[in-house]
């Protein structure tokens, strides 16, 4: 991956995001998004791919800000698609369960790195408290959140 900026979820200005058919940039640069801390998640294996389902706690301000960012990004992506006369809109990655609890589905990359609190690389997640660096990928009408790094916090 090329050099890129790391932007914390609560310091992103949507109007500085540039979208084209193959990627999304921030202030004309590649970027990663640092998430808030999550205390609840599930690891999912779907087909041959691995995902994290990050449980959003709407009682936390940080999670509400992150959810607002996701909604704004999805709105901006759909506006981009509408401007190019594309009838397909993106599918949201926010899931809402029967109890109205929200979660974000994040894809593991083949080279996703996992670290413990001392910044040592590890093979598996073993605590509930994590923070992620996410890459926002966009290919014409498909978009996804991909975990580049996951930091366990004890």
Average of per-residue pLDDT across 78-94: 84
Predicted local distance difference test score (pLDDT) of residue 146: 96
Average of per-residue pLDDT across 136-149: 91
Dist. CA 78–CA 118, nearest whole Å: 40
The DSSP letter of residue 90 is: P
Specify the CATH number for the domain of residue 55.
2.40.50.140
Average of per-residue pLDDT across 126-141: 91
Rounded to whole angstroms, what are the CA distances from 59 to 35, 39, 102? 16, 13, 12
Domain count, the chain: 1
Q: Convert the pLDDT of each residue in 89-110 to its tens digit.
A: 888 889 999 999 999 999 999 9
- Is the pLDDT assigned to residue 2 strictly greater than 70? no
Q: Phi and psi for 30 in degrees, rounded to 5?
A: -65, 150
Q: Phi and psi for 79 in degrees, rounded to 5?
A: -65, -40
Range of the domain at 105: 5-152
Q: pTM for this structure?
A: 0.91
Dist. CA 79–CA 43, nearest whole Å: 32
Q: Which of 150, 116, 120 lies closest to 133, judged by CA?
A: 150
């Amino acid at each position: 991956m090329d050099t890129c900026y790391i932007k914390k979820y609560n310091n992103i200005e949507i109007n500085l995001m540039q979208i084209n058919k193959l990627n999304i940039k921030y202030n004309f640069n590649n970027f990663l998004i640092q998430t808030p801390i999550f205390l609840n998640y599930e690891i999912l294996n779907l087909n041959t791919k691995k995902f994290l389902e990050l449980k959003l706690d709407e009682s936390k301000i940080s999670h509400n800000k992150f959810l607002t960012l996701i909604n704004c990004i999805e709105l901006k992506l759909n506006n981009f698609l509408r401007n190019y006369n594309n009838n397909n809109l993106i599918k949201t990655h926010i899931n809402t369960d029967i109890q109205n609890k929200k979660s974000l589905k994040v894809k593991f990359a083949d080279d996703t790195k996992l670290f413990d609190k001392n910044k040592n690389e590890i093979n598996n997640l073993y605590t509930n408290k994590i923070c992620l660096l996410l890459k926002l990928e966009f290919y014409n009408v498909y978009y996804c959140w991909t975990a580049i790094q996951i930091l366990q916090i004890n």
